[in-house]
Amino acid sequence: MKRAFKCYILLITVFAAASAFFMIRSQLPLVSPTDKVIIGLEAFFILSLLVEIFSIPLISSRATISVIHPVIWAMIVIFGPVYAMLIAIATSFIYEFQVKKDHVTRIYASIAQQIISVSSAGMVYIYAGGIVGSEELTKMILPFTASVIVYFILNSILSSCLTAFDEDLPPIAAWQINYRWMVPYEVALIPVGILIVFIYQYLFLAGLILFLIPLLIIRRSYSLNLDLKKTYKETVQALVKTIEAHDSYTSGHSLRVAQYCKMIAKAVKLPYYEQEKLEIAAYLHDLGKIAASFSSNVLNHEGKLDDKLIQQKMMHLQASDRLISSISVLKDVGEIVRYHHERFDGSGYPDGLAGEAIPFCSRILMIADAFDAMTSDRPYRKALSLDEAIDELESNKGAQFDPRLVDVFVAKCIHPKRKAEMSTEGMPEQHEMAAKLKLVQSVK
């Protein structure tokens, strides 16, 4: 277990213990444990367990999402924060241990996460003026909304931290991947939680049974959103396979360019969603080269290109942009690809953009693309050495490349941990890409 993860577990343990102690010590309001209340608690426990069992796994992590949140929020109002916390803990333990069969450390972290989230949300509800068992809508909406906001913030942050350790990501990136898209859904779930409270109070158990249908509809909405994200990734993978089938150099080149782009993006602290678009643009930036005429006339041409072939080469950018932008979810990616051959001094193509007018991600992609092209064997020349490629980048600062990005790439991505040689001369062709990716890992 990593030291940082141990520290995280210790930290949430302290916070969970403090939250539970403070909530119990504060003697927050509870409903009296009558027979009806006990039956209600049992029914809510079963409902919580059912919606957890039907959790949906997230695409990019081991975490799952469910529609348990409005059920927990309703329990805070109906029974009080302490009962809500106890049911949330029991549900989390049974689901993680018996159904998901997760590692004991993750089970422990999940329980601590529920203690912190539910107890904090419960205290916010009470101290904001909420009344346990309230049937007056006007008196509970504001405290309830405040409670929901606190619950979502804490629950998503704690879950993102756990995902960050699993996936070796910054916590902010993990939150953006898994929870940013959920914000509108959580807002929409606020009235659902309020309705659960009132329907239960007027119809008792029959109200909970009726609410299974809308909860299943909400779960279906989550599932469709995740299916859309899965389709997005599968579309990119299919396009990459198309490039790979067309030309072995182009496919290996795109993979390496994507790695360099990720390095630069992290060094300049590009927001995660921009990093994701940039990485996809790097994978697909040569998609326009799958045209048969481009392959036969340009890719395999030995020697200097004449004016006609140069013009044909320039057209691959528009072709890439058209192909990528024809897929609605990739329109922003198409723009990055279109402008990655614009030069910083304005003498590039296809539109002659200059300086800051060139999209920032396109400027990153240009450096990554040029660096890998320089350090790879081509039909018309041998690969440059790593030092020669760096000299080329330095000598073209302000002309071809954004000078600040060149400085970042050389200073933060190449020089600090340069332990491998870029040249693969004499190496079997099938090992060339593996060797370059090894260098990429060594200079991170």
**234 domain-assigned:** no
Co-location of 264 and 175 in the same domain: no
Q: For residue 52, is it within any domain?
A: yes
| Residue 88: exposure state from Cβ atoms within 10 A (0-12, 13-18, ≥19) | buried
For residues 181 and 276, membership in a common domain is answered with no
The whole-number pLDDT of residue 379 equals 64
Q: Domain ends where: 164, 197, 228?
A: 228
* Residue 199 sits in the same domain as residue 270: no
Domain presence at residue 236: no
> What one-character DSSP code corresponds to residue 383?
P
Dihedral angle at the C-alpha atoms of 143, 144, 147, 153, nearest 10 degrees? -130
Residue 137 pLDDT: 74
User: Domain for residue 233, yes or no?
Assistant: no
Whether 300 and 369 map to the same domain: the answer is yes
DSSP conformational letter for 329? G
Confirm whether 344 is domain-assigned: yes
Per-residue 3-state assignment (H helix, E strand, C coil) for 134-146: CCCHHHHHHHHHH
> Does residue 135 lie within any of the structural domains?
yes
* pLDDT on residue 442: 46
Check residue 367 and give its pLDDT.
95
Residue 238 belongs to a domain: no
For residue 20, what is the domain's CATH number? Answer: 1.10.1760.20
Task: Quote the number of domains for the chain.
Answer: 2
Same domain for 366 and 424? yes
Q: What is the pLDDT of residues 287-329, one digit of tens each?
A: 776 654 444 454 554 555 545 545 555 555 666 667 777 776 6
- Which helix (H) or strand (E) is 56 found in, with range? strand 56-57
Instruction: List C-alpha distances in Å: 112 to 10, 117, 355, 364.
Output: 10, 9, 50, 41
Domain assignment present for residue 37? The answer is yes
Tens-place pLDDT, residues 235-247: 777 777 777 676 6
| Distance between CA atoms of residues 59 and 63, nearest Å | 9
Same domain, 89 and 206: yes
| Sites in the chain below the pLDDT cut of 70 | 1, 59-63, 244, 246-251, 289-321, 328-329, 378-380, 415-444
Cα dist from 99 to 41, 52, 56, 89, whole Å: 21, 9, 13, 15
Does residue 418 share a domain with residue 308? yes
pTM greater than the 0.95 cutoff: no
Q: What is the CATH number of the domain that holds 436?
A: 1.10.3210.10
pLDDT reported for residue 155: 92
Q: Are residue 195 and residue 321 in the same domain, yes or no?
A: no
Quick one: how far is CA 191 from the chain centroid?
28
Q: Say if residue 212 is in the same domain as residue 258.
A: no
pLDDT at 77: 94
Give the domain range for residue 287.
247-442
- Alpha-carbon separation of residue 267 from 167, 312, 376, 405, 439 (angstroms): 19, 35, 24, 10, 17
Last residue of a domain, one of 168, 200, 228: 228
Residue-level pLDDT at 236: 78
Neighbouring-strand partners of residue 397: 401
pLDDT number for residue 424: 40
Same domain, 191 and 275: no
Do residues 178 and 317 share a domain? no
Pair (223, 193) in one structural domain: yes
